[in-house]
């Protein structure tokens, strides 16, 4: 409950919460609302368990050594290498990450991954727009120049060439993006310009997410504009993503449990008892504790068949 209320607060980038921010977040009213709701997962404006489950599973999948930190190579594997290498480098440059120790070691923590994943899957919120704007603003002058846009677009063109797809020339792409954003000052795009734009997800994906860029290219611009205008009446992109991924993860877990149940049913009573001991000690083990000797199982007691079908 505390975690969900925490994410309703308009936090600063330092991660601290002021008294004024707590007052703005209607802290006490939120507590009362959560107590009245039988299923708090139905309150989508909070950071629900389903959201946490999806994020942690995604992080655990990338964190191959399970040290609760991921490096550049780990993050690059996200979504089948959809994010460009140049953007991955910018994320690890310290533009949007916190913690000097993690930056020194060239890794990001779970907390930084939370910011990354939500910003990646929903590029229309003010926080995500600021996140990606900081990454693309190479010189930190508060505006995206044509050079910076071309810098990120070059890698997109290389990926398209590798896929045997003819990329759109940068000049034509630039004209499309300027028509999309409609910046107030000629020759540069500011954070304010992007926050006014209804299709910031299309803008950002064009420069560093090849999979989503191709998805946008298959849609006509009028349908995307309609989706952008009606977004306030529907669930957010993040909520859609979290719901879809949660269903997939639950289905995979159910299939795995069904397979394990079928396997255990084939064991004889002695073997089944040993399997229950193993299962009990695994469930008893604390969540973050490293695996150890789970059960005293003597493999010599098992009779193996010579031929396997």
SS3 at position 108: strand
Backbone angles phi, psi at 95, to 5 degrees: -65, -35
What pLDDT does residue 221 have?
57
Separation between Cα atoms, residue 266 and residue 269, nearest integer Å: 9
Is the sign of the CA dihedral 135, 139, 145, 146 positive or negative? negative
DSSP labels for 236-263? -HHHHHHHHHHHHHHHHHHHHHHHHHHH
Same-domain pairing of 92 and 182: yes
pTM greater than 0.75 (yes/no): no
CATH number at 103 reads: 1.10.238.10
pLDDT-flagged residues of the chain (< 50): 1-34, 40, 233, 270, 278, 280, 282-302, 304-309
Q: In DSSP terms, which residues pair with 109 in a beta bridge?
A: 69
The residues facing 188 across adjacent strands are 145
CA distances from 210 to 101, 170, 250 (A): 31, 15, 28
**Domain identity same for 188 and 56:** yes
Q: 250, 248, 246: which is closest to 258 by C-alpha?
A: 250
> Same domain for 22 and 56?
no
Name the residue range of residue 13's domain: 1-47
Residue 286 lies in a domain: no
262 within some domain: no
**Inside any domain, residue 248:** no
- Whether residues 26 and 165 share a domain: the answer is no
Phi, psi of 129 (to 5 degrees): -65, -45
Pair of tokens at residue 74: 């780990």
Question: Residue 3 maps to which CATH number?
Answer: 1.10.238.220
Identify the pLDDT of residue 1: 42
- Please, what is the average pLDDT of the chain? 76
For residues 6 and 67, membership in a common domain is answered with: no
pLDDT at 284: 46
| Tokens found for residue 72 | 């550049």
Give me the pLDDT at residue 259, please: 74
CB count in 10 Å sphere of residue 50: 18
Whether 23 and 121 map to the same domain: the answer is no
Identify whether 229 is part of a domain: no
Whether 233 maps to a domain, the answer reads no
- Note the pLDDT of residue 60: 94
């Amino acid at each position: 409950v505390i975690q969900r209320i925490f994410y309703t607060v308009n936090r600063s980038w330092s991660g601290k919460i002021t008294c004024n921010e707590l007052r703005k977040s209607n802290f006490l009213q939120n507590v009362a609302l959560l107590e009245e709701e039988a299923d708090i997962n139905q309150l989508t404006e909070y950071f629900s368990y389903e959201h946490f489950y999806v994020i942690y599973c995604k992080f655990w999948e990338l964190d191959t050594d399970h040290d609760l930190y991921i490096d550049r190579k780990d993050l690059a594997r996200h979504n089948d290498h959809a994010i460009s290498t140049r953007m991955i480098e910018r994320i690890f440059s310290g533009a949007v990450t916190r913690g000097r120790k993690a930056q020194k070691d060239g890794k990001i923590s779970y907390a930084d991954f939370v910011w990354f994943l939500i910003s990646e899957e929903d590029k229309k919120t003010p926080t995500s727009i600021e996140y990606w704007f900081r990454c693309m603003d190479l010189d930190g002058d508060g505006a995206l120049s044509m050079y910076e846009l071309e810098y990120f677009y070059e890698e997109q063109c290389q990926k398209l060439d590798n896929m045997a797809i003819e990329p759109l020339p940068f000049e034509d792409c630039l004209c499309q993006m300027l028509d999309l954003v409609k910046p107030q000052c000629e020759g540069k795009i500011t954070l304010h310009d992007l926050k006014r734009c209804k299709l910031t997800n299309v803008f950002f994906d064009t420069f560093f997410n090849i999979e989503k860029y191709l998805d946008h290219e298959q849609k006509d611009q009028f349908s995307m504009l309609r989706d952008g205008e009606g977004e306030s009446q529907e669930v957010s992109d993040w909520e859609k993503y979290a719901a879809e991924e949660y269903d997939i993860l639950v289905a995979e877990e159910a299939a795995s449990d069904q397979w394990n149940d079928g396997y255990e049913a084939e064991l004889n009573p002695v073997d089944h008892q040993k399997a229950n001991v193993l299962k009990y000690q695994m469930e008893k083990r604390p969540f973050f504790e490293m695996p150890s000797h789970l059960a005293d199982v003597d493999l010599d007691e098992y009779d193996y068949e010579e031929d396997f079908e």
